[in-house]
Structure 1
């Protein structure tokens, strides 16, 4: 059971903290897995022992994307504040005396939300997830160096694109607009992410009953 493996990563030494990353293409199910792992660790080890900090909180705002002419590429590596993300991961490693506030991402607003999440000082396991955690691009390679372990969710293309279409339509796009955005942005991003699969220590595939298993 994956929760058992997450619990096994939790340091037994007081004051130590572990960062577990979950990478994968857009709509692979990274956030669902990360949240379930956090819930499972909290149930086993008690309140405040684990926390969830997604990379998506470091999306550039839509105003900044418009300024940079990148709105149509939202979700690409250059549309994130990777330096801010790296600094947060470093702080999570070292600052165990005070709560650490982190940005979240609101899909209804399609915008990051400052200080939407908090990591309590007692947290010993941090789950972070995002597309580019295993990437070698400028800034992103530093992310991998800050993680103690890195898993990859390898969901089938048809499942991912079905989820993306539903996500973008719910977000306000028409079906044709959603399909165009998937073709122009989501697919190229997914191709880049898929090339980083080999950098991850564990490959997980979704099952029909909404769980995950190790890839054969």
Structure 2
């Protein structure tokens, strides 16, 4: 699907929300293009409807820190479901729906630092649509259904397996890994995580599943 079509579908959620703030969720495997699409939707909707039309809220801001991963023995599984603070993420989504009258600060993940960073984004009081994205939003593992309670509609973003693998290797290279380290991390961690996500693709909570071309 093209970005313009997706913008039209996303904005319709604001009418259905009947005056309250709407939340659109994007699920999909690592490397599928979720964050790029979310940012494109928010930018496009702001251009059409004004600066407060939409805001971006990434699940990646709820990665556990490296110190916590070491404490839990999960450093080698970074990016898997238990390495996220899903309850914190669900609580933030509830705040965004229930507390529309003040700024809500949103964390992000810094790939250079390889750590979450607090308050990189802000959702202003006038924002009508929140676009949030993350690998596991369609999963029924503990905590994720709680997060979905605040999401009005959930879409699944697809991409070819080898294309995702290529993007993920490039991501790891950009993060400072050697070529061998990047390929091994993708093989042993990112692709197994993708299998968990792919199992959720057919969930009844997914309202739209598509390949995003990245073009208008």
Question: Same fold per TM (> 0.5)?
Answer: yes
Asked whether 1:201 is paired with 2:191, we answer no
Given that 1:98 and 1:120 are in contact with CA atoms closer than 8 Å, whether structure 2 keeps it comes out as yes
C-alpha distance in 2 between matches for 1:16 and 1:135 = 26
* 3-state SS in 2 of match to 1:28: coil
Given that 2:87 and 2:147 are in contact with CA atoms closer than 8 Å, whether structure 1 keeps it comes out as no
C-alpha distance in 1 between matches for 2:136 and 2:78 = 13
Map of 2:64 onto structure 1: 60
Q: Deviations over 1:134-157 (max 9, x none)?
A: 010110111222210001111000
Gaps of 5+ in 2: none
Q: TM-score, normalised by structure 2?
A: 0.93
Tell me which of 99, 107, 110 is aligned to 1:103: 107
More divergent stretch after superposition (136-145 vs 55-64): 136-145
Asked whether 1:141 is paired with 2:162, we answer no
Map of 1:160 onto structure 2: 164
Map of 1:171 onto structure 2: 175
C-alpha distance in 2 between matches for 1:52 and 1:11 = 19
Judging changes above 3 Å, is the alpha-carbon distance between structure 1 residues 99 and 164 closer, same or farther for their aligned structure 2 residues?
same
Given that 1:11 and 1:17 are in contact with CA atoms closer than 8 Å, whether structure 2 keeps it comes out as no
Map of 1:72 onto structure 2: 76
Moved over 2 A (4+): 11-15
Judging changes above 3 Å, is the alpha-carbon distance between structure 1 residues 156 and 12 closer, same or farther for their aligned structure 2 residues?
closer
Map of 1:90 onto structure 2: 94
Asked whether 1:192 is paired with 2:196, we answer yes
Aligned residue pairs total 210
Q: Deviations over 1:145-179 (max 9, x none)?
A: 22100011110000000000000011011111111
Given that 2:69 and 2:83 are in contact with CA atoms closer than 8 Å, whether structure 1 keeps it comes out as yes
C-alpha distance in 1 between matches for 2:180 and 2:167 = 15
Map of 2:53 onto structure 1: 49
Q: Deviations over 1:15-66 (max 9, x none)?
A: 4110000000001000011111111111111111210000000000111111
C-alpha distance in 1 between matches for 2:154 and 2:12 = 14
Gaps of 5+ in 1: none
C-alpha distance in 1 between matches for 2:212 and 2:99 = 35
* 3-state SS in 1 of match to 2:15: coil
